[in-house]
Amino acid sequence: MAETAQFLITGVIAGAAYALLSLTWALVRKVSGQLFFVSGCMVVLGVLGTNALTERGWPMAPAVVVVVASAGAVTLAADVLILRRVARQTELSGTLVMLALAFAMEELLSLGFGPEPRQLAPAVAGPPVSFLGASLQRQQLVIVAATAVLITALVLAGRSRWGKAMRACAENPTGAMLVGIHPTAVRTIGLIIAAALGALSGVLLGPVAAMAPASGFLLSLKGFIAAALGGWGFLGATVAGLFLGLTESLTAGYISSDLKDVVSLALLLLVLLGKDSIRLRRVGRVRISDDRREAPVSTHPATD
């Protein structure tokens, strides 16, 4: 019982981390239609940047503010200098540019902070809490509580006027401009919020998981898997992130820790194959209806 409870707690904590990452993906997808491959780099920036400042004697709160603001500033610069130039091009172009930015940022983080993994001091000190025979760190409780608050805030924001403007800009930028909404501004704000959320997630996760610059891409991939599983919605991505974390934890606990990443990738493959199957069925129905519409109707009676 205690062993199962420990696996479940580990899965919930990992799921909360994946949920936070998936929210950045879902937000950027809603405002720009692009894939936010730099989300993992923002998480790593949150850990490494905060660690570097606190080691130099900065208090934790100012260090977090500076690092989160830096993540937003980096994203703003990337948007103004690069992303806006490919916003009107094909989705493939935007994806390739995001991938290039992710790899470039990973190299810059390695040059700036070194390749070694770093970890933050816990925000809440004290002995672990016992729950159903399992051990639960106080920082893990902070992660779950902060995740719940951030998810609630994003869901409420998505239903607000700003959320409606965000959806309008993503679905029909021209129509949004006609009603007085500025798609470029809304898109930039969404990107900055996603980057800041990623850096803040790193601050939350840093005390329980050491991170190196090379950790960014795998983190981004897990966020993408959760967002895709959840259908790119905030609530769906959250549930999918928790499901992914629990699946990985139970797989590692009862089968093998070497298979947890394999399970995640298998889930992504199933989702992508399922969406392709649905798309093909829709195309097939459209073609059949078109064939029926275009089929000539005979006006001569049939003869034997």
Residue 302 lies in a domain: no
Buried b (16+ CB within 10 A) or exposed e, 278-299: eeeeeeeeeeeeeeeeeeeeee
**Does residue 94 lie in a domain region?**
yes
User: Which has the higher per-residue pLDDT, 272 or 294?
Assistant: 272
Provide the pLDDT for residue 282: 46
* 105: CB partners within 8 A, 6+ apart: 38, 41, 45, 74, 216
d(CA 261, CA 26) in angstroms, rounded, equals 21
Q: What is the tens place of the pLDDT at every residue in 277-293?
A: 444 444 445 444 444 55
Examine the pLDDT at 191 and tell me if it is beyond 80: yes
pTM comes to 0.82
Average pLDDT over residues 49-73: 93
180 has a pLDDT exceeding 80: no
Q: What is the mean pLDDT of residues 118-135?
A: 77
Q: For the chain, what is the mean pLDDT? A: 82
Residue 300 lies in a domain: no
Task: Give the total number of structural domains in the chain.
Answer: 1
CATH of the domain at 135: 1.10.3470
Is residue 301 a part of any domain in this protein?
no
Residue 202 structural domain: 2-293
